[in-house]
Amino acid sequence: GGSAGIDVVTAESVLIEDEAIHLIPTTSNGPLGHGLAALLLGRSSATVRGIFVQPGVIDADYCGVIKIMVHVFSPPLQIPKGSVIAQLIPFTPQVPTKSNTAPQRTGGFGSTGLLTAFVEVLSASKPTRLINLTLNDFSFQAEMMLDTGSDITIIL
């Protein structure tokens, strides 16, 4: 056993005076190494202090300063340089890469490609569709019902 996450430290002091989302640079940079990606999550101690860290993904090919997306519940709030308000939860990406020579990305906080969206008109009848789910060599096909909520989509 051991810690699931690696703490990240804020690189500068920030005074947050509104409820907007702010980007706070850390002292950590990508790429993370060893082909790892990571989830960037808030520490519970930050949430107790009224600092909400928006979750993010740091891709294995990201190069640059890792930034924390935060908003506060009760501004104004000072976040001092050297604060530990977030942590990286590393994982091995499972999405196949297009090529081994793909350039490393330095952007972040923007689109990394074309938007892919599945669009279906939903009504009270809750339509069903033939769905193919595939992972590696395993494939599964079934007639499934589509349903949606205000912020989620469910495939049953």
- The full set of domain ranges for the chain reads 6-91, 118-156
Q: Residue 15: its pLDDT value, please?
A: 97
DSSP state of 81: T
Mean per-residue pLDDT, 47-64 = 94
CA pair distance 58, 88, nearest whole angstrom: 9
| Neighbour tally for 79: CB within 10 Å | 21
By annotation, the residues acting in catalysis are: 147
Confirm whether pTM is higher than 0.75.
no
CATH homologous superfamily of domain 6-91? Deoxyuridine triphosphatase (dUTPase) (2.70.40.10)
31-52: b (≥16 Cβ within 10 Å) or e? bbeeebbbebbbbeebeeeebb
Task: Name, of 92-101, 128-137, 141-150, the range with top average pLDDT.
Answer: 128-137
pLDDT at 68: 97
Please give the helix or strand (H or E) that residue 22 lies within, else none. strand 22-30
Paired tokens of 37: 């990606």
